[in-house]
Amino acid sequence: MKLIMYSVRDAEKPYIEAWEKKTGNDVKMVTEPLNADTVKLAEGYDGISLQQTTKLGDEQLYEQLAAMGIKQLAARMVGVDIFDLDACKANGIIVTNVPIYSPRAIAEMGVTQAMYLLRRIGEFEQRMSHGDFRWSDDLISNEIYNLTVGIVGLGNIGGATAQIYKALGAKVLAYDPSYNVEYEPYVEYTDFDTVIKNADILSLHTPLLPSTENMIAAPQFKMMKDNAYLINMARGKLVNTADLISALENKEIAGAGLDTLADETSFFGKQVTSDQIPDDYKKLAAMPNVLVTPHVAFLTETSIRNMVEISLNDAVTILEGKHSRNEIRM
């Protein structure tokens, strides 16, 4: 097969080349996204892989793809909101995504942030930057095997997180409305409030849904232990940011590790000037007991390799007239 891959980044190239060698298929790599200007690059190719945040274009683009004989679009990511799925259906184009590429990547980032916070590293750093290299009684840490970890949302990433904490000797409580026997060896299932009240580390791993938006707000912060850390590697809007800032300022919780923020889309993933950075972020980033990363928990070699390989395998599967479990229902 001859495939064209849009928006190729340098980090992906070794994995694309290895896949070509392994499967005997050819991949043309281009750095541009797929849009009205670049669609003609797909002329003469059997299939397409893409990864972009911008929408592809209007209906005409899908008609153009169909006229070129393109039968599938393989996204190297989870989200498929860049596609006009009605136009795909109307033009006989099957869309696939990569819903699971490395739960461990996100789980490990959450645990890394929790470890950093638990050992008070930000607070020591702040004092050292002022010439204070003393150790003091107010920065005594605890060790993970003495702690209770609360997981909210025990799916792929929550499950991987639970396994790591269990391996480190922690007691792991979990709340998820759907029961998964696979995680029984690692967790004690309980209700939401029990998780919130008992967690020394509260780790969020639910999708953003109307039922999960603001699931951690003032009432939950009041229920949490005042020495607890909140870890949010999932979606910013699960947490009410104003309430989080108040809880931190009022010492209702000990700190927070955040890879997502409610208003992140205006600046995460971009080079911006200071006046473009929201005040919420500035307040949080100034706190030594808060760690913020710009939605990069997924960014590991394993994730990149899997996004490349799974999307290319799916492209070939669809082109061979077979079904992939990653097909988007339209």
* Site of interaction with ligand NAD (CB under 6 A): 106, 152-158, 175-178, 205-209, 211-212, 233-235, 259-260, 295, 297-298
**Given 76, 295, 305, 309, which residue is catalytic?**
295
Shortest distance (Å) from residue 212 CB to ligand NAD: 5
Shortest distance (Å) from residue 213 CB to ligand NAD: 10
Shortest distance (Å) from residue 98 CB to ligand NAD: 10
Shortest distance (Å) from residue 160 CB to ligand NAD: 8
Whichever of 71 and 237 has its CB closer to ligand NAD, that residue is 237
Give the C-alpha separation, 33 to 8, whole Å: 9
Residues 6+ apart with CB under 8 A from 67: none
**C-alpha dihedral over 73, 77, 80, 81, to 10 degrees?**
-130
Whichever of 124 and 192 has its CB closer to ligand NAD, that residue is 192
Cα atoms found within 13 Å of the Cα of residue 223, Cβ hemisphere only = 15
**Taking Cα atoms as reference points, which of 314, 304, 309 lies closest to residue 12?**
304
Shortest distance (Å) from residue 229 CB to ligand NAD: 17
3-class secondary structure, 5: strand
3-class secondary structure, 230: strand
- Look up 295 and say whether it is catalytic: yes
Give the C-alpha separation, 116 to 144, whole Å: 12
Whichever of 1 and 77 has its CB closer to ligand NAD, that residue is 77
Shortest distance (Å) from residue 242 CB to ligand NAD: 21
Query: What angle, rounded to 10 degrees, do the helices at 103-118 and 301-319 form?
Result: 160
Whichever of 215 and 247 has its CB closer to ligand NAD, that residue is 215
Which amino acid is residue 81, in one-letter code? D
- The residue whose two tokens read 């596609």 is 83
Give the C-alpha separation, 188 to 200, whole Å: 15
Give the C-alpha separation, 65 to 6, whole Å: 14
Return the structure tokens found at 213: 């938006």
How distant, in Å, are the alpha carbons of 102, 148, 264, 275, 277 from that of 108? 10, 17, 21, 32, 27
Whichever of 94 and 151 has its CB closer to ligand NAD, that residue is 151
**Given 12, 120, 205, 264, which residue is catalytic?**
264
- Look up 235 and say whether it is catalytic: yes
In this chain, which residue has its C-beta nearest to ligand NAD?
A: 155
Whichever of 95 and 157 has its CB closer to ligand NAD, that residue is 157
- Look up 32 and say whether it is catalytic: no
3-class secondary structure, 60: helix
**Given 76, 235, 305, 309, which residue is catalytic?**
235
- Known catalytic residues? 235, 264, 295
